[in-house]
Amino acid sequence: MNNDRMLKEFFKLVKMTCSSGKEREAADYVTEQLKMLGFSVVEDHQAGEKFGGNTGNVVANLSGTVVGAPTVMLSAHLDSVEPCSGIDPVLEDGIIRSKGETVLGSDDKAGVTAILEGLRMIQEEKLPHGAIQVVFTVGEESGLNGSHYMDRSLLTADYGYALDSGGSVGEICVLAPGQDQINVVIHGKKAHAGMAPEEGINAIVVAGKALAEMKQGRLDFETTANIGIIAGGSATNIVPDEVELKCEARSRNLDKLAAQVAHMKETFENVATAEGAAANVTVTRAYEPFSLAESTLVVQNAVKAAKSLVLESKIVGTGGGSDANYFNAYGVPCAVLGVGMSKVHTTEEFIKESDLYLSAQYVLALLQTAASSV
């Protein structure tokens, strides 16, 4: 493996414009690299058009040299959370971080870099391999938009791996929650706050009373709920007649998810009615949960690949969603793999230089394990 090449590529990728919907530079770059490696590459225009981005997912395929080997998908996303403009990565004492004003972007350029370097090793060493599919998605950070709106007919893999977790290299996530978005509009009654407040119904106060009765936060080991955004009111001298709240609930158990969403909906509605107001509650399924048995080929081969590198393989669950939620829903069993990134979505984000290189070795091991499983 060429560590120097990999480090330079990682630095180059994180410096590119990469906010959700603006991944064109990164998409063009990975397309060029994949073509140089012999892949046929298409752009999934459907995804970009449906959520308004300037590029679609990049989907690439390479024929295998081992007859009968499973087709393996390798996936990572091209976007980063804000602030990601002008990222200036630095390497100090084996740790890569930004200078502190931005995120680093290892989420998920570490996954992208690991995939590209692992593929180069396969080609440069002329190693036997099955068919390989690469899916670099867009808009992941803005709500899994790339995988949500993906042209499903492009997915041909038998199973896959999304390199998009902060766990150590060798960590294999096989459980993830589904999520419901709960949008609420509470309608009260407007009045002058100084002259006739008793004539109004304060929508913000109604919302507060509902929130005081609501179960939220960590509900159990696999279920959470959060009140994320609240907006309303126009002036301090006006009793606000409308307030909007954006909430979510997640669980790896759909029955628990349904129960929590029902609780939140009923609480908003019941409190509003009791206060003489009204609550309009809309629930939208963001994505489905997934669960992979340890006996499945995708998990077994991930464990074998980790052992071949003398890595500790950990089978874990997560409370977060990823593109793997959609890939699994589309019929492609997909586990999420740790690449060692830490404190993601903050300006303190970092990754160990050694984990960056180890992730590429793991990609190579995954492909070799698949080729030897015939």
Give CA–CA dist 231/77, Å, rounded.
31
Amino acid symbol at 295? S
H helices, E strands: number in the chain: 10, 19
Q: What would the DSSP string read from start to end of 192-226?
A: ETTT-GGG-B-HHHHHHHHHHT---EEEETTEEEE
Residue 36: other Cβ atoms inside 10 A: 11
Indicate left, alpha or beta for 94 from its phi (over 0: left) and psi (-120 to 50: alpha).
left
Radius of gyration, CA atoms only, the chain: 23
Question: Any idea which residues carry the catalytic annotation?
Answer: 79, 140
- Using alpha carbons, select from 294, 290, 299, 264 the residue that is nearest to residue 279: 264
Q: b/e for 285-306, b at 16 or more Cβ within 10 A?
A: ebbbbbebeeeeebbebbbbbb
Q: For residue 273, how many other CB atoms are within 10 A of its CB?
A: 12
Are the C-beta atoms of 355 and 339 separated by less than 8 Å? yes
CA angle 338, 343, 344 (to 5 degrees): 70
Handedness of CA 36, 37, 42, 47 (dihedral sign): negative
Query: Residues with Cβ < 8 Å from 235, sequence gap 6 or more?
Result: none
How far apart CA 271 and CA 255 sit, in angstroms, is 24
Q: How far apart are CA 215 and CA 235, in angstroms?
A: 30
Measured CA angle at 341 (ends 335, 344), to 5 deg: 100
